[in-house]
Amino acid sequence: MASSFFLFVVALLAVQFMSPHALRVGFYSETCPNAEAIVSQVVNRAAINNPRVPPILLRLHFHDCFVEGCDGSILLTKGIDQPEQKAVGHQGVQGFVEIASAKQALESVCPGIVSCADIVAMAARDAIALAGGPVYAVETGRKDGMVSNSLLAADMPESQDSVDVLKSKFFSKGLSEAELVILSGGAHTIGTTACFFVTDRLYTFGGGVNASDPDLLPSLKSQCPRGGDILARTSLDQVTSTVFDVQSLRNIRSGFSVLPSDAILYSDRVTRSVVDTYAVDDSTFARDFAVAMVKMGRIGVKTGDSGEIRRVCDAANQGQLIITPGASMKLKPPPLMAAWWLMYAVVLGII
């Protein structure tokens, strides 16, 4: 009896503490075979109603992955005093309604199966395809995180960062200089930005690397006049703003980029070389963009018992752990560990 119980405990502990399963393409092929199709349908419908949806969902995935990893933490708001979503670095991030719609559709056919973090990743992939970008396979199998606090977003890349600071922030996520160019300057091939982020470049032109090309200024000033609405939107790519291509990189090369954080990429020898390479090679950029998106999608993922599958994307499941700096916390034992203690108590006659 003792020997059998010992082997049972060893087996339970082995499962409890084994390395979490890796992400993989087709993770839901058996448990929710239509998951990706359902997400695609929601994204397609949303994009018909709002042409800005593709860049919105791409940006959402980027912001999610850069804080606490790709775990859907940016979606959490309910029951949290300072949710990550309210961080200064996340200003203007949207797409929450679309993700919630996809989750609702999935819960109706596969309840408790598909994570919000995976929905964000799949939606970004579909959004890129809608804009004419590369079609690639998304790795899935992420769990949803249970940590959300605005202070955790302090190290988001900012529009006024120097190239060295940008490099450091990307390096800290395991991303290279090439991926910095791809996922920032390159990704800005679609989408808009608030006038708030370009004011300095518009009204402090001095001819240096941080300044806009003089030919760009009149157009931008008409869209973002001094003293005007700082929340008004202007296209990141003033030439082909709704099409996924390499025009944003050509803009950087010619001094025609809108954001200072894009323009600054041409001041560094390494990132300038990357810009020059992709600016004349659409197919290579598209291929490497897909690779960079998959790599970014692996940042800090939660798998196994390190996360959960939320029932709704803006709230952790009841009784689960949410950590916020300075807050008290209660830990719910993982299911397998709880089962181990129950078996142990029964054998010893405690209960």
- Residues annotated as catalytic are 63
Task: Rounding to the nearest 10 degrees, give the CA dihedral for residues 315, 193, 168, 147.
Answer: -10
CA distance 305 to 22: 13
Q: Which two tokens stand for residue 233?
A: 């939107």
Give the Å distances, CA to CA, from 214 to 191, 203, 237, 240, 266.
Answer: 22, 11, 16, 19, 17
Rg (CA), the chain: 23
As a whole number of angstroms, the distance between CA 114 and CA 103 comes to: 8
- Alpha carbon 42 to its chain centroid, in Å, reads 18
CA distance 66 to 184: 12
Please list, residue by residue across 17-55, b when 16 or more beta carbons sit within 10 angstroms of its beta carbon and e when fewer do. eeeeeebeeebbeeebeebbebbbebbeebbeeeebbbb
What is the Cα–Cα distance from 251 to 213, expressed in whole angstroms? 10
Please count the other Cβ atoms lying within 10 Å of the Cβ belonging to residue 212. Answer: 23
Distance of CA 325 to the CA centre of its chain: 22
